[in-house]
Structure 1
């Protein structure tokens, strides 16, 4: 890996993959076809893109049970324990509705309401990601979403991976459909004869899934358009080079465009990690992918001191940040921008990916400057509550009308003044029954 001296303006940002004109047009055509033809379009595209001729879209209870039974008891126990950790963490994020009453009797508050229905996209086909099921489903479940729908492209045998079905069963998902790609996103957004539409779509996917989520945004909510994975490691001379190199490669093996950066104050560590990365690459099963990522997006940034290292990390705003220093808590207090922060030697990034509990759906490409990990709030909406008392209205109505006229909105002003001249009518706060 190339070693470079820190200078202001370092960035992890890569050009956003917004697809080719052909890809965007293809996605728009698929979405329109699904809106017009419903299930028929889903069957057609599943046969065309996945090579599977289905007779039904919904995964049956028998298929879920068979998939779960195909896993060993040990693997089921691991998934179940991971699910427990994830659910427990997200339960701590729950908010409650609230109301306050002031001395005039005016009541103000906020009502928290779970979304009615959420769609979870899980990549499939040749890959299987049970962690994606848990991380997207469980926060929605904790939030109180009543209908959680999972979609995933089938394998050549027309089934979903047993490990994905097992994770779905453990997470409590019973509405699962064998459909993927842009057509699955369209079905979730607009509905078909079999799949009822949802309010929000979450979960990762390929470029066609990402483009489809962009297209339907506004008709439904989406979580984010996540880019390739990234990791930054802030380390001093106390870090173990072989471990830091392993963690850098843990993200590089995801994607040729994944970004792995070491930020360090130690030249010795920088040189050792650079050599370790090369040594470990030779033994990786996904060497070709990781090697390309390290070549194009791997960097080692050498800083004069910890202050510069912290500033470099804040400029990077990484998806994952590991702090491998003598006093990681002290360093963490100065970090302003990172999706997830891993402290100390035993908090390797995969600990968070799979098992610890915090969500692994994280902001990428510098968006950690203003975005958060997927969380319970993403599956709820908030309504403001205003119940003005008569006394407060009398005291403030003239000011409210004046403010309206300040903006040139006469009808607003008159709506307030009408209540000053009209007597009686429905009760305000005084009409509450207690």
Structure 2
């Protein structure tokens, strides 16, 4: 049987377009009640029994026979040996990717992650002190596949931010991947444990006899991991609850159709729920992209996943203009947004909501996934309307600095007392008034 992928064809000139688009975009972050119950039980058990519970669940889910959690810890020597044992070309590619990711996040820290202060006219000092989180946990998926790039994207900005301890957890199958372990060593992971799932998140959030408690947990995972992160939020910080991967391509018809079709494939191959959307005002070009999809799909090793994703969640949308395409893109607020145009800088100012924007025909989203430099951990499911990519700032916190001069106290004290009396908080008012000169 020949596989086919038929993304939904829509046009903004057709009646019911808005409803059809909303239906195609719909994805619920709500987790199955059965998963929620399992995760709640695991977290409670890990809080109660610590190492013993983590070990029990890990042995059960990963089919292991470990007798202690110490057996599941990876040392620095093992990670370094994995790095040194890589084939030369693979090691060089990993080093180059890490260097670019590090350079980008160092620039990000300089631009938005430094302390600052100033003094006003009466000598009062006001400012902000930026300090790193002490200890973070990074969750690296590793059940069905290994993701060394995810290690780089989570650990390097933490290290650049100045985090002292970076604890990596990865399911046992993923820990067998030498490239992943090499990435952990290169990116500065302090300790690593071959544990995954809700039990790993709980161990990081609450600590056990062996796994240290962290201040923040970052990194993607399956529905059990997402549910666990949601439940431990408040005890620890988290980066985000990620949904299925997404790409939206704005095309003016000047980029080879094969390139655009393959970029749509690049997200569709993640899983059946991934979403790939094309917005273009040229109907003939959209037809050309569909022909490219038909021609190239049989060549893809993950053709079945791609076909399901494109057919069930993909869309090829004809717009009235590129301007309208930009408006729709802002409504979608995609994780990855490609501007496949001869003049991408004409359209970029019109785009307000996206996790990452890829400018021009030569900027494939896949380059951002691995080695361009900016972080590939991005907001999904329209959350780019209010959230940002993972960055150095996610591993820092900010403290306000206030040093009021004697002269400043005479001005601010009067203002504060007046407002405090208005709120009925006399002690607040008197604390300010006691510093006034009589």
TM-score clears 0.5: yes
1:35 aligned partner: 47
How many angstroms apart in 1 are the aligned matches of 2:294 and 2:381? Answer: 25
Q: Which has a greater percent of helix?
A: 2
1:190 aligned partner: 206
How many angstroms apart in 2 are the aligned matches of 1:345 and 1:169? Answer: 34
Q: How many residues align?
A: 420
* Cα-to-partner distance string for 1:223-268 (whole Å, 9 max, x where unaligned): 0000000000000121211110000011001011111000001111
Deviation at 1:408, TM superposition (A): 2.3
2:91 aligned partner: 76
How many angstroms apart in 1 are the aligned matches of 2:80 and 2:117? Answer: 45
RMSD: 1.6
How many angstroms apart in 2 are the aligned matches of 1:169 and 1:20? Answer: 36
Deviation at 1:396, TM superposition (A): 3.0
Q: Check the 8 A contact 1:160/1:178 in 2, yes or no.
A: no
Deviation at 1:125, TM superposition (A): 3.2
1:252 aligned partner: 268
Q: Tell me which of 201, 207, 221 is aligned to 2:223.
A: 207
Structure 1 position 26 matched with structure 2 position 26: no
How many angstroms apart in 1 are the aligned matches of 2:139 and 2:228? Answer: 12
* Cα-to-partner distance string for 1:350-404 (whole Å, 9 max, x where unaligned): 0100011010000100011111111111110000011111112112322211111
- Normalised to the residue count of structure 1, the TM-score between the two structures is 0.93
How many angstroms apart in 2 are the aligned matches of 1:32 and 1:15? Answer: 29
Q: Tell me which of 214, 220, 230 is aligned to 2:236.
A: 220
User: Which range is displaced more, 111-120 or 387-396?
Assistant: 387-396
What is the DSSP-based 3-state SS (H/G/I as helix, E as strand, rest coil) of the residue aligned with 1:233?
Answer: strand
What is the DSSP-based 3-state SS (H/G/I as helix, E as strand, rest coil) of the residue aligned with 1:336?
Answer: coil
1:367-386 pair list within 5 angstroms: 367-386=383-402
- Normalised to the residue count of structure 2, the TM-score between the two structures is 0.93
How many angstroms apart in 2 are the aligned matches of 1:126 and 1:263? Answer: 32
How many angstroms apart in 1 are the aligned matches of 2:127 and 2:82? Answer: 46
1:14 aligned partner: 26
Kindly tell me: are residues 307 and 416 of structure 1, through their superposed partners in 2, closer, same or farther at Cα, counting changes over 3 Å?
same
Kindly tell me: are residues 102 and 65 of structure 1, through their superposed partners in 2, closer, same or farther at Cα, counting changes over 3 Å?
closer
Structure 1 position 357 matched with structure 2 position 369: no
Q: Check the 8 A contact 2:161/2:396 in 1, yes or no.
A: yes
Kindly tell me: are residues 13 and 407 of structure 1, through their superposed partners in 2, closer, same or farther at Cα, counting changes over 3 Å?
farther
How many angstroms apart in 2 are the aligned matches of 1:273 and 1:206? Answer: 32
1:298 aligned partner: 314
Stretches of structure 2 lacking an aligned partner (at least 5 in a row): 1-6
1:429 aligned partner: none
What is the DSSP-based 3-state SS (H/G/I as helix, E as strand, rest coil) of the residue aligned with 1:231?
Answer: strand
How many angstroms apart in 2 are the aligned matches of 1:117 and 1:322? Answer: 35
User: Which range is displaced more, 381-390 or 400-409?
Assistant: 400-409
What is the DSSP-based 3-state SS (H/G/I as helix, E as strand, rest coil) of the residue aligned with 1:19?
Answer: coil
1:89 aligned partner: 104
What is the DSSP-based 3-state SS (H/G/I as helix, E as strand, rest coil) of the residue aligned with 1:128?
Answer: coil
How many angstroms apart in 1 are the aligned matches of 2:104 and 2:411? Answer: 46
What is the DSSP-based 3-state SS (H/G/I as helix, E as strand, rest coil) of the residue aligned with 1:27?
Answer: helix
Q: Tell me which of 334, 352, 356 is aligned to 2:350.
A: 334
Q: Tell me which of 125, 130, 135 is aligned to 1:117.
A: 135
* Cα-to-partner distance string for 1:327-369 (whole Å, 9 max, x where unaligned): 1111111111111111111100101000110100001000111
How many angstroms apart in 2 are the aligned matches of 1:111 and 1:104? Answer: 21
Deviation at 1:46, TM superposition (A): 0.9
Q: Check the 8 A contact 1:256/1:292 in 2, yes or no.
A: yes
Deviation at 1:185, TM superposition (A): 0.3
Stretches of structure 1 lacking an aligned partner (at least 5 in a row): 424-434
Deviation at 1:305, TM superposition (A): 1.3
Deviation at 1:278, TM superposition (A): 2.3
Q: Check the 8 A contact 1:23/1:208 in 2, yes or no.
A: yes
How many angstroms apart in 1 are the aligned matches of 2:283 and 2:27? Answer: 30
How many angstroms apart in 2 are the aligned matches of 1:126 and 1:250? Answer: 18
Q: Check the 8 A contact 2:129/2:400 in 1, yes or no.
A: yes
How many angstroms apart in 1 are the aligned matches of 2:325 and 2:152? Answer: 34
Q: Tell me which of 163, 168, 176 is aligned to 2:184.
A: 168
How many angstroms apart in 2 are the aligned matches of 1:20 and 1:53? Answer: 30
How many angstroms apart in 2 are the aligned matches of 1:259 and 1:77? Answer: 32
How many angstroms apart in 2 are the aligned matches of 1:209 and 1:397? Answer: 50
